[in-house]
Chains A and B, each alone.
Chain A
Amino acid sequence: MTAALVLSLMLMQDPDLQKVQELQQKLRAVVEKVSPAYVFFGNGSGVCISSDGWALTNFHVSGDRQGQRVRMPGGKQFLADIVGFDPLGDISLCKLREAKDLPFCELGDSDALQVGQHVIAVGNPFLLGNGSWEPTITFGIVSALHRYMDNPGYFDAIQTDAQINPGNSGGPLITMDGKVVGINGRIDIKRFMNRVNTGIGYAIPSRQIQRYMDAFKRGGRVFEGFIDGIQIGECGDGRYDNVGEYGDGVFVARVDAETPAGKAGFEPGDIIFEAEGYRITNANRFHGVVSNWPEGVSIRVKVRRKAEEKELKVFLGDPAKILERKRAMEATELGFAQGPGLQLGAIQPGGPAAKAGLKAGDVLTHVDGRRVGSWTEFRALLRPNAELLLTVTRDGKDVELTLKVPRPKTDE
């Protein structure tokens, strides 16, 4: 019994140090688990989110280029191709070539975050990790949520005081359970200082990225959702009558009939106060919530009309533009496989590419005399039912061929 007493007194000796050491052990364990999934991407960062090499980064770090040289901790090199990207929302989804059994981090739930919660940032500030290929770890808390800013669009950003600096962009913001809740991309700097962290960093939340994931995987540029055909104002705006108090939401000033907003049933005077479970308090938050989804998706919006609450379902985006983009995508059914570095893969017999005389192994260089740098650029130049002059390199020589882009299939 005396032994038990002595032992328990000993263990009780410094419970504070014990608590701190427990946190330290936990932190070190999380770091050991997540940092192998980090990607040294150009002059910024990225993170691997699947064992077969899907990875995320910021668009301002990657652009839409194919075949960029990236590395993982320890120095192993890969080539990365950007598949889908959102320049406004500043996210790129890329695929690492010849990737198998890679260490990766799962996406977590940014909606479950609480202000004050511990978070870890993994990155390469000031490119200090180049050469040793050891990323930089910083530790802090969630400072605020749902922060809205534009140019580029951080619509629903997580704010953190874990230090983020130039070189951290595109890297993961991770919770203590080892999941990616955000992609770091922006900081506030003091005007007179060097571009260094001042305790304010912003990350794009994982929920938003997850909502865009299908569109990213389909490829090409992805566009933000918006409610087409509606003009809004902010509640509390003194220039209008009956528009509630600041903080109530946004009010509908005008609705155009033959638009998604008209079809959804919005009426002038409606006060929009919630969408998909997120409370909307002002114009920033309205744009922030709606931009959480890409165009082409429908979301549920709650409005207050007279004394009643109504739920409306609205299709996001401009239907005409969406259709145009869809046609451009379909027109890529040109009967050849897109290989790395603008090299053509297998040619489908009887397809438009075969008819044009293209061969597997040809490397595309120009379209109508314009140099193209990526398949995305090529797709942007496609027009249904058009004839394009393609220049390819074959056996070291330039060959010019005419490609006839097919008519679009008839739609609904």
Chain B
Amino acid sequence: MIGNSVLAAAFLLTCAGPLLAQSADDPHKRVYQKASESVVAVRALAPLGERSGSGVLLTKEGLLLTSYAVCPDGATNIRVWVKGPRLYTAEIVETSKKDELTLLRIKPRGELRPVELGESGKVRTGEVSYTIGNAANSIILDDQPSFNVGVVSGVYRLADERANSTYTGPVIETTAAVNVGMEGAPCLNADGKMVGFVTLNYSPHRFLGTAIPIDEIRPVIERLKKGPVPIAEEVPAGEGWIGLKVKAEGGRVVVESVDRNGPAELAGFGKGDVILEVANTPVKTTRDLEEKLKGMEAGSIVWFKADQGGRVETFKVTLEKKK
């Protein structure tokens, strides 16, 4: 009967399965084939010297994402290597120091393969995890993206800062190798889709790679695509630059805007925050704020208390040199 023969076929298939099966590393090879042209190397001349790292292509038109550490504000002579090899010069579209991201643009010659974005919300501990990037300058020197496999060892929130990064928030921890040159590299899932952005080299407790989940980055990318925002008028702060514009509103001091990549933005201030205290002194008017900040030099650390979205938070602002 038909039912029997189909069942028999199913039974045979089950047994024959292992024989028909592909090699266990075929999925790895497939992911590499899919992603190897989507990851790039980035090199730039930053104020503090030449930096190299990785980046990832976002669109066919040449938009690509890299780490702010590799390509900070003011970087020049930005070069991008795409598998081929093809060498491009790139320009900055916009940067976000607090999100540790920089958006670049190149003029494509030939077809570009952007990375496919995944959903980090679906990432589960124990699933396969890949990193691919310019480790030890493998893309720049040899046109070879370095490809590593591991597992997602943990998905959790970071509560503290660590060397070279102020990021706190959700992270994906991966055992796939993360090395110097991988800043700006993507972390991929079993389907070869990007679920994380490798900007953090290690976690203080575990010395493994940590990646910022792509769901955290998506809104930032959308914001950066719009380009630079004009710098607002600042609160004068002696010799130091704070990057904060405030207004008086209903008897309170409210943040009107923060300068992009400025000390206040880095500290976490945003539009609408209500400033309650500065340096342990209550602030009722914008004049109070000015008085307190008068004479403070670049390098000074100023502690604020502000109401952000209904919660009272502490902010640590480090004044910088006026640009």
Q: Roughly how many angstroms separate A363 CA and B150 CA in the complex, as a whole number? A: 56
Instruction: Say if the beta carbon of A378 comes within 8 Å of chain B.
Output: no
B141 is contacted by which of A4, A8, A148 (Cβ under 8 Å)?
Answer: A148
Contacting pair B147 A281 (CB below 8 A):
no
Instruction: Say if the beta carbon of B20 comes within 8 Å of chain A.
Output: no
Which residues of chain A are near B36, meaning CB under 8 Å? 115
Contacting pair B143 A141 (CB below 8 A):
no
Kindly provide the distance from the CB of B35 to the nearest chain A CB, expressed in whole angstroms.
10
Instruction: Say if the beta carbon of B17 comes within 8 Å of chain A.
Output: yes
Instruction: Say if the beta carbon of A117 comes within 8 Å of chain B.
Output: yes
Contacting pair A5 B143 (CB below 8 A):
no
Contacting pair A247 B135 (CB below 8 A):
no
Q: Roughly how many angstroms separate A184 CA and B273 CA in the complex, as a whole number? A: 57
Instruction: Say if the beta carbon of B210 comes within 8 Å of chain A.
Output: no
Which residues of chain A are near B30, meaning CB under 8 Å? 116
Interface of A is mostly: mixed
Q: Which residues of B contact A (CB under 8 A)?
A: 4, 7-8, 10-11, 14-15, 17-18, 21, 23-25, 28-32, 36, 84-87, 135-136, 138, 141-150, 176-180
Whether A141 contacts B148 in the complex (CB less than 8 A), given A7-B11, A176-B23, comes out as yes
Which residues of chain A are near B10, meaning CB under 8 Å? 8
Which residues of chain B are near A140, meaning CB under 8 Å? 149
9 nearest A-B pairs in the assembled complex, by CB-CB distance = A199-B177, A116-B28, A116-B29, A144-B144, A8-B11, A247-B85, A246-B87, A118-B25, A116-B32
Instruction: Say if the beta carbon of A207 comes within 8 Å of chain B.
Output: no
A104-126 contacts to B, CB under 8 A, are 114-118
Instruction: Say if the beta carbon of A338 comes within 8 Å of chain B.
Output: no
Chain B: which residue is nearest A20 at the CB level? B24
Q: Roughly how many angstroms separate A5 CA and B6 CA in the complex, as a whole number? A: 11
Which residues of chain A are near B147, meaning CB under 8 Å? 115-116, 141-144
Kindly provide the distance from the CB of B309 to the nearest chain A CB, expressed in whole angstroms.
39
Instruction: Say if the beta carbon of A307 comes within 8 Å of chain B.
Output: no
Instruction: Say if the beta carbon of A18 comes within 8 Å of chain B.
Output: yes
Contacting pair A190 B18 (CB below 8 A):
no
Q: Roughly how many angstroms separate A236 CA and B141 CA in the complex, as a whole number? A: 14
Instruction: Say if the beta carbon of A282 comes within 8 Å of chain B.
Output: yes
A278-310 contacts to B, CB under 8 A, are 281-282, 284-285
Contacting pair A147 B148 (CB below 8 A):
no
Q: How many A-B residue pairs have CB under 8 A?
A: 120
Contacting pair A161 B148 (CB below 8 A):
yes
Interface size grouping (class) on chain A: 35 or more
Kindly provide the distance from the CB of A93 to the nearest chain B CB, expressed in whole angstroms.
27
Contacting pair B14 A117 (CB below 8 A):
no
Q: Roughly how many angstroms separate A4 CA and B13 CA in the complex, as a whole number? A: 12
Q: Roughly how many angstroms separate A22 CA and B23 CA in the complex, as a whole number? A: 10
Chain B: which residue is nearest A114 at the CB level? B29
Q: Roughly how many angstroms separate A410 CA and B4 CA in the complex, as a whole number? A: 85
Q: Roughly how many angstroms separate A26 CA and B22 CA in the complex, as a whole number? A: 13
Contacting pair B15 A19 (CB below 8 A):
no
Which residues of chain B are near A12, meaning CB under 8 Å? 14
Whether A144 contacts B138 in the complex (CB less than 8 A), given A4-B7, A115-B29, A246-B85, comes out as yes
Which residues of chain A are near B14, meaning CB under 8 Å? 8, 11-12
Chain A: which residue is nearest B136 at the CB level? A188
Which residues of chain B are near A148, meaning CB under 8 Å? 141-142
Whether A19 contacts B144 in the complex (CB less than 8 A), given A4-B7, A8-B11, A282-B85, comes out as no
B143 is contacted by which of A8, A11, A161, A281 (Cβ under 8 Å)?
Answer: A281
Instruction: Say if the beta carbon of A1 comes within 8 Å of chain B.
Output: yes
B179 is contacted by which of A23, A116, A199 (Cβ under 8 Å)?
Answer: A199
Kindly provide the distance from the CB of B84 to the nearest chain A CB, expressed in whole angstroms.
5
Chain B: which residue is nearest A199 at the CB level? B177
Interface string of A133-164 (1 = CB under 8 A from B): 00000001111111110000000000101000
Chain B: which residue is nearest A190 at the CB level? B180
Whether A144 contacts B142 in the complex (CB less than 8 A), given A115-B29, A115-B36, A117-B25, comes out as yes
Chain A: which residue is nearest B209 at the CB level? A199
Contacting pair B148 A285 (CB below 8 A):
no
Which residues of chain A are near B25, meaning CB under 8 Å? 116-118, 141, 176
Contacting pair B135 A200 (CB below 8 A):
yes
Instruction: Say if the beta carbon of A15 comes within 8 Å of chain B.
Output: yes
Which residues of chain A are near B21, meaning CB under 8 Å? 19, 22
Chain B: which residue is nearest A201 at the CB level? B177
Which residues of chain A are near B11, meaning CB under 8 Å? 4, 7-8
Kindly provide the distance from the CB of B17 to the nearest chain A CB, expressed in whole angstroms.
7
Whether A144 contacts B146 in the complex (CB less than 8 A), given A116-B29, A246-B87, comes out as yes
Contacting pair A159 B87 (CB below 8 A):
no
Q: Roughly how many angstroms separate A247 CA and B81 CA in the complex, as a whole number? A: 10
Which residues of chain A are near B29, meaning CB under 8 Å? 114-117
Chain A: which residue is nearest B9 at the CB level? A8
